[in-house]
Structure formats: structure tokens, C-alpha cells
């Protein structure tokens, strides 16, 4: 059960809870599409503390809270908070949790969300901690796959792009490995999946490192494409060497299976050409919109109203 718990790492969520989230997210998706007005979280307050840029994550969390009848107080950037004056994470989270019923935090420091959860008097949701994890993104990613295929096991999944700094894939590979999926890791040499992430996965025999995208184009069911994260590089010469390493255009997509899907946590740069957007296999905007319903479900379950 998720009631009263923080969600910092994908390992904080049991497999049974993942499927309960799916069921509730589907219910909310239907209700919102019918225009139903919900009031399950009337009187509840969410504090969103974003010390790193965000569009989809912040807006979808805030939209989720509003759609459930709750309200939001927010810090949208570090310079507008007392962090710019030197306030510690511990003091910030003590303050924010005293004002709210649940806290969502994004921070550039890996491990910041776990630290925050130790000082908070209310549940903390990790909206991304540096190159660490992004667990609610992973659950919405799994939900999108589940909606498409009716299952999240027994699939061939290719993770493509920045696997070193991409926190979304760090969470996703751990979740996918629970369900006996074949996982292909496709990245430039300097952006391979960190060993500390792989070492925590039991079913490593199902994971393959591949350098050539063509090797899996006609075999994979899911292509999870990630942006090369310029802001994480110390040496811009290294960034210049890898930008544009993998790119999906219509010619690339034409060699994929008709039943395959393309996903992306967004924002994108040049790794998916906009001409692909109209292809039926492009699900990244559906994926983004699913974030609201999945986060509605997570918030409701943690706050104990469902």
C-alpha cells in the first residue's frame, strides 16, 4: 500500500501497487474525458518545489492536484526560494511540509529527494533528482506501454540515447527488468548506462548493449528515445561528439514493426524529427498527457482517499 509513503525510487513501489495505479489512472482518464468534476482532495494542499527547470512534470503534477479538487503552492525556480540565500534542503522541506499535505520536489542533486523525505512531515514525491531517478515518470511510461499492448511483460524494449545522465531510463530499466522483458541499451560509448544502475538489476541476462540502432529496428516493440542532456556535461567538446548520434525520421520509422511504438520523456532536441509526430507509432505526446492521470492516481493513493 502507498498510503502515507514517500515515492523517491521506483523500488518504493511494489508490483501490485503499479497495477493498482494503472486501474485508478484509467478510471480517472475516463472521468476527465467525460468532463466530470472531482473533489476527492478538496482541502488538501500540494507543495511543488522545483529547483531545476521543468515543464511537463511540474504542470502535470499541478494539473493532477487541481483536477482532484486540491490546491497547489509552488516554488518554480531556485532563485525565487530561500535556497538562493543558502537555506539547506532539510530546512526547506521542514517548512514546505508544514504548509502542505504532500510535497513534490525536483532538484539537481542526486539523492536530494531521499534526503528531503527524511526531514519531511508529509509524503515526498521525487520529480527528478539530478541524474538519479524519476519514479513517477517511469510509472506513466509503463502505463502508456500497458495501454498499448495490454501488458508490460515479454516485450522487446530499446532504450536509446543518453543512458548515463537520463534519470528516466535509470528508473525505467529497473522497472522493466521485473517483467521479463528483453532490454537493448543503445548509446554512444561515453553515455552508457552506469554500472551502479545495472548492478542493482537481477535479470541482467535479458539486457544487451548495442551500438547500432539498425540491429534492433525491425525487432523492438518499444523505442524509448532520450535527449542528449547538454546541461549535464562538464566538457562541451564531449557533448559536440555525441549530439545527433541517434535520430528518428520517417525513413528510420519505416523500418520499424507496424505494431511498435516510439516514446520520449521530452523535451526533445534533434533525436526525433517532427515529421514523425503524425505517424501512428509516435506515442510521446500521449505519454505526456498520461502523466496527469497517473499522477492523480499516485497522489490519491498516497493521501489515502483511494
**Residue 5: all three cell numbers together:** 509513503
Query: Could you say which of 48, 57, 226, 252 is catalytic?
Result: 57
Q: Catalytic: which of 58, 106, 264, 306?
A: 106
Query: Where do we find the cell 518499444?
Result: 222
Q: Are 100 and 47 in contact (CB under 8 A)?
A: yes
Residues in the chain: 306
Residue 176's contacts (CB-CB under 8 Å, 6 or more residues apart) are: 142, 152, 157, 183
Confirm whether 85 is a catalytic residue.
Answer: yes
- 8 CB-near residues (< 8 Å, 6+ apart): 113, 114, 117, 124, 126, 129, 133, 135
Alpha carbon distances (Å) from 303 to 21, 103, 186, 194: 13, 11, 38, 34
Q: Check if 286 is active-site.
A: no
134 is known as an active-site residue: yes
Q: Which of 29, 107, 134, 174 is catalytic?
A: 134
> Backbone phi, then psi, for 157, in 5-degree steps?
-120, 130
Task: Decide if 151 is catalytic.
Answer: no
Q: Catalytic: which of 34, 79, 85, 202?
A: 85
Is 67 tagged catalytic? no
Annotated catalytic residues are 56-57, 85, 106, 134
Amino acid at each position: 500500500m502507498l498510503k502515507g509513503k514517500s515515492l523517491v525510487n521506483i523500488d518504493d513501489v511494489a508490483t501490485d501497487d503499479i497495477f493498482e495505479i494503472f486501474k485508478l489512472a484509467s478510471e480517472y482518464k475516463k472521468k476527465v474525458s467525460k468532463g466530470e468534476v472531482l473533489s476527492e482532495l478538496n482541502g488538501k494542499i500540494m507543495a511543488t518545489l522545483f529547483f531545476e527547470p521543468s515543464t511537463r512534470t511540474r504542470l502535470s503534477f499541478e494539473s493532477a492536484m487541481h483536477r482532484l479538487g486540491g490546491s497547489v503552492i509552488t516554488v518554480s525556480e531556485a532563485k525565487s526560494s530561500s535556497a538562493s540565500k543558502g537555506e539547506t534542503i532539510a530546512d526547506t522541506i521542514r517548512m514546505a511540509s508544514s504548509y502542505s499535505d504532500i510535497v513534490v520536489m525536483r532538484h539537481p542533486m542526486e539523492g536530494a529527494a531521499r534526503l528531503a523525505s527524511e526531514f519531511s512531515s508529509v509524503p515526498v514525491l521525487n520529480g527528478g533528482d539530478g541524474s538519479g531517478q524519476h519514479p513517477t515518470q517511469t510509472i506513466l511510461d509503463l502505463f502508456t506501454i500497458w495501454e498499448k499492448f495490454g501488458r508490460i511483460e515479454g516485450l522487446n524494449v530499446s532504450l536509446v540515447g543518453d543512458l548515463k545522465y537520463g534519470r528516466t531510463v535509470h528508473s525505467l530499466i529497473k522497472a522493466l527488468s521485473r517483467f521479463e522483458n528483453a532490454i537493448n541499451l543503445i548509446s554512444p560509448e561515453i553515455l552508457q548506462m552506469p554500472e551502479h544502475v545495472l548492478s542493482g538489476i537481477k535479470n541482467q541476462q535479458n539486457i544487451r548493449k548495442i551500438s547500432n540502432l539498425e540491429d534492433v529496428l525491425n525487432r523492438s516493440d518499444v523505442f524509448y528515445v532520450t535527449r542528449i542532456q547538454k546541461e549535464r556535461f562538464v566538457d562541451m567538446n564531449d557533448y559536440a561528439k555525441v549530439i545527433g548520434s541517434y535520430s528518428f525520421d520517417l525513413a528510420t520509422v519505416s523500418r520499424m514493426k507496424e505494431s511498435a511504438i516510439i516514446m520520449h520523456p521530452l523535451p526533445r532536441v534533434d533525436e526525433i524529427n517532427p515529421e514523425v509526430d503524425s505517424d501512428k507509432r509516435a506515442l510521446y505526446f500521449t505519454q505526456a498527457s498520461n502523466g496527469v492521470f497517473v499522477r492523480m492516481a499516485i497522489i490519491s493513493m498516497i493521501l489515502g482517499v483511494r
